[in-house]
Amino acid sequence: MQQIEHRRVRVEEVDWDGVMRFCRLFGAFRMAVHPSKLLVSLVMVTLLYVGGRAMDWVWGPRVYPGELALYSSMSGENFDDWLNQSRTDWGSHSGIFQTALTYKVRALQRLVIAVSELDLGLGQLVEQNRHDPNTVVGALEDLVVVLPGWLLRAHPWFTLVYALWAAPLCAVFCGAVARMAALHATRDQRVSPAGALRFAAGRWVWFLLTPLLPLLLAAVLGLGLAGGGFVLFNLPVLEVLGGLLFFLAIGAGLAIACLLALEVAGGHLMYPAVAVEDTDAFDAVSRAFGYVLGRPWRCLFYSFVALAYGAVTFVVVGLVVFLSLWITQRAVGAWVFREVGEVNRFEAMLPPPMLGDFSVEPRWAELGVSGKAAAGLVWAWVRLTFGLLAAYAVSYYLCASTWVYLLLRRAADECEFDDVALDGPDGKGERPPATEAGPPDSPDVTDDAEEASERAIGP
């Protein structure tokens, strides 16, 4: 019997990105903190914030104390009754945008903490009337269900006007960041903000329509159901026909449910689809939904890894921002001897920042005219620094989503990672030339390892 010879093999380095493709998701942090992506994201966040505060000034204080909390705990009819009874009570109110922003920031903080602690709260999906805001599911429900529902129900005109301002803005700036992320991930190219904005501005209609297309189709089906109910179930004779054809209504309701579920599951793939393929909204939605349906477990795994890694990096970036402001506040105020009340004058302009608290305001009443002017300028820079956190969240979301899209495309369509539409001489996208294949007699060990790791992940 032939004796098998055993030899030791020394491995100096492992190409984790090649052996396990999902490790490419960990490169989203380096892509997200690139100055060009942060700059474009910061400009977008600043414009959204300025627009919202301007609308608060025009609309005036409209939100009752505890209104949003009551909406989340009441039925729609009971909330409407409470709102109608409170119309005459114009006590201490707050702005709509400021209330929504504060609620969103707190929900995002809870989401980051829950993801870091792996507190998913999946039981809320099957147990009725259970809502724990400190879990992943609860925080996401506050962000995508409670907050939009409250805005549409209690302040529809404000929401409509702000959406008309925010939607085109997000289409152009998020499209630009997605384009920079696509070329960074696939071709390792650094696109200038101006070039990326030109790309997104030329395709802003597709960036605007792509995430809205499934919602518009669901709305059309919903209006069709409402119209059918109005025609068939308001007359004694036609209601029999309505009962006979009710299976069509159930089918339309099922289609609406599927569209909404796919929007939640694949909405983060739509901007990358337009940016990578340089395609229209219909093809982008088709690709996003096709990858979710074709590789559901892989999509769930990649999305969860990206979310968990994003939560960790967001905490790190938040700590850096907080430490920067804390050091600056302490150092600048160390030799300020003029006092206002019990604190020095600079501390009245900029109170010591608190970790996780973005609502600290200067002591306006204790400052004079020049002090208020200086405090306003200082606080504008502080708000801009806080905006870096939001800019990083936007940049990371688009960079991580781009990698999730590329990984799913590689698994479903066997497209290479460097297959991306480039800008041609006429301004239209064109595909890069295909890379030449290697010698047929040289097996690719990396591809074999990649396929083995993919089989371990699942379809």
Q: Phi and psi for 149 in degrees, rounded to 5? A: -65, -40
Calpha distance 415→225 (Å, rounded)? 41
183 pLDDT more than 50: yes
Amino acid found at 438 = G
Token pair 């400052």 is found at 367
Q: Tell whether pTM > 0.85.
A: no
> Could you tell me what percent of the chain has a pLDDT over 90?
37
pLDDT of the residue at 200 = 93
Choose among 141, 152, 53: nearest CA to 99.
Answer: 53
The three-state secondary structure class of 422 is: strand
pLDDT of the residue at 86 = 67
Calpha distance 222→226 (Å, rounded)? 6
Choose among 378, 158, 413: nearest CA to 276.
Answer: 413
pLDDT of the residue at 449 = 46
Secondary structure (H, E, C), 148-174: HHHHHHHCHHHHHHHHHHHHHHHHHHH
> Could you tell me what percent of the chain has a pLDDT over 70?
84
pLDDT of the residue at 334 = 83
β 343-344/422-423 pair status? unpaired
Residue length of the chain: 459
Question: Which residues are registered as beta bridge partners of 354?
Answer: 357
Answer whether 312's CB lies under 8 Å from 304's CB.
Answer: no
Task: Tell me the pLDDT tens digit for each residue of 335-381.
Answer: 888 777 777 788 888 888 777 666 677 877 778 788 888 888 888 89
Answer whether 70's CB lies under 8 Å from 146's CB.
Answer: no
179 pLDDT more than 70: yes
pLDDT of the residue at 345 = 81
pLDDT of the residue at 128 = 63
Q: pLDDT-derived band of residue 201, with 50, 70 and 90 as boundaries?
A: very high
Task: Tell me the pLDDT tens digit for each residue of 247-283.
Answer: 999 999 999 999 999 998 899 999 999 999 988 999 9
Q: pLDDT-derived band of residue 182, with 50, 70 and 90 as boundaries?
A: very high
Q: Which residue has better confidence, 45 or 189?
A: 45
Alpha helices in 60-95 (DSSP H): 67-73, 76-85
Task: Tell me the pLDDT tens digit for each residue of 406-437.
Answer: 999 988 888 887 888 876 444 455 555 544 43
Calpha distance 447→457 (Å, rounded)? 15
152 to each of 147, 148, 252, 262, 372, how far by Cα in Å? 9, 6, 23, 22, 36
Task: Tell me the pLDDT tens digit for each residue of 283-340.
Answer: 999 999 999 999 899 999 999 899 889 988 998 998 898 899 889 888 888 888 877 7
46 pLDDT more than 90: yes
Average pLDDT of the chain? 82
